[in-house]
A and B are shown apart, each in its own frame.
Chain A
Amino acid sequence: MKRPIIFILLLIIIGVLIGVSISYGTYYGINKTGSENFCVSCHEMDSVVMSYKDDVHGGKGELGASARCVDCHLPHDSLVNYIYTKATTGLAEVGVHFLGNLDEIDWQEKRYHRQFYVYDSGCLQCHGNVLDNTLSSSSKQAQKMHKHYKKLKGTKKEIKCASCHFDAGHKGLRNFLNYYKPEYSIYKDKMEEKKEEVQQKYKRYGVEVDEE
């Protein structure tokens, strides 16, 4: 009778140890691949990172608080969904980085599709009470618009936080994108100068500097 009890106890202890180490490993991996340092290691993200560093969400606020890329760009409704979306989008990004033509990415076009890769559950993770219209800090206009948001939520006409807050997280993104790839040809020379200027300014965030 004694032996099986010891055996089961041992099994549980070993199980817990294996479980803890696996979950710690997973957590560590997920955490490490969620930092902007990891995201900026692919240089097609340079202008996105610069505009992020210029925004309150990138730590430009008075308190220096910052959101990480994954805080907005991954769903936070359930852990399963979070990990699944992280894995699938991560793989897609890796594919684009190594196999795709990076010069052909239409970043300007992507700005119009922001609703698909900015998750409300992410916004609300930090701005938890923002839809509560009794907040003293929300203006009349904000109350009106958030009421509209709540009215449409769950219907076919649902809108997202990023539908209205179009530049949240990336202040002046259109400018930075233009420095890399001008929308109009006449800016070409001027944008080369600007690009060099901003590359030097944001170098410490891992932004690649053109050496010519």
Chain B
Amino acid sequence: MKTKVKATFLFCFFLLLSCLYANSQQEESTTLSSNSDAKIKVTPEQKEKYHLKPVHAQLYFDCIFCHEGQGNNPENFEAPDEEVCLACHKSKLYLAKRLEFMDTLKANPHNSVHDGPNLYCDECHREHEPSVNMCSECHLKEIKNNIWMKATP
């Protein structure tokens, strides 16, 4: 009789175990063929010279994410077209919509009274050097004192 009780206990125990781990997902194998990636050698000096914005650095982007099809010498890379930015950042209208609350005072930098949602990204945003704020060319005080805009990311 004792064996029966033991067997019941064991059965219940395994049932519990299987329930607990039924949801555990198997990790997918992550081996990838990387033959399409061009091999680009970036020296530590170049990395220092062309550092990324924190928002992009934390995603560990390689140079060719933006400089695709520009050869394999980082010194010869040129600023990519804005389509490259918008491949991830969707569209200028979308970006304007993200700062919609600023429209209430017509101060949305992505939808300003002067240019609407039509500015080129690099008129303000720079990747490898400090960004600039084009609005500050006229609205210097407001920008400087963080009255309606922070530093351009």
On A, residues with C-beta under 8 Å from B are 4, 8, 12, 15, 76-80, 82, 121, 124, 131, 141, 144-145, 147-148, 150-154, 157, 159, 163-164, 167, 172, 174-175, 178-179, 182-187, 190-191, 193-194
Query: Pick the contact of B30 from A151, A178, A179, A191 — CB < 8 Å?
Result: A151
Residues of chain A with a CB closer than 8 A to B100's CB:
172, 175
Is chain B's binding surface mostly helix, strand, loop or mixed? loop
27 contacts between A and B (CB under 8 A): A8-B5, A76-B25, A77-B24, A78-B21, A78-B24, A79-B22, A82-B23, A121-B25, A145-B88, A148-B62, A148-B65, A150-B30, A151-B30, A151-B34, A153-B30, A157-B60, A159-B59, A163-B58, A172-B100, A175-B101, A183-B150, A184-B147, A186-B148, A187-B101, A187-B105, A190-B104, A191-B104
Alpha-carbon gap, A153 to B30, bound state (A) = 7
Residue of B nearest to A4 (CB): B1
List residues of B (72-116) whose CB comes within 8 Å of A's CBs: 87-88, 97-102, 104-105
The reply to whether B8 and A163 contact each other, CB–CB distance below 8 Å, is: no
Q: Mark each residue of chain B from 1 to 44: 1 if its CB lies under 8 Å from any CB of chain A, else 0.
A: 10011001000100000011111110110101010000000000
Residue of A nearest to B147 (CB): A186
The reply to whether A184 and B149 contact each other, CB–CB distance below 8 Å, is: yes
The reply to whether B98 and A152 contact each other, CB–CB distance below 8 Å, is: no
Residues of chain B with a CB closer than 8 A to A124's CB:
25
The reply to whether A163 and B98 contact each other, CB–CB distance below 8 Å, is: no
Residues of chain A with a CB closer than 8 A to B34's CB:
151
Given contacts A178-B101, A183-B150, 12 further A-B contacts (CB under 8 A): A15-B12, A76-B25, A79-B20, A79-B23, A147-B32, A150-B32, A151-B30, A151-B34, A152-B60, A182-B101, A191-B104, A194-B101
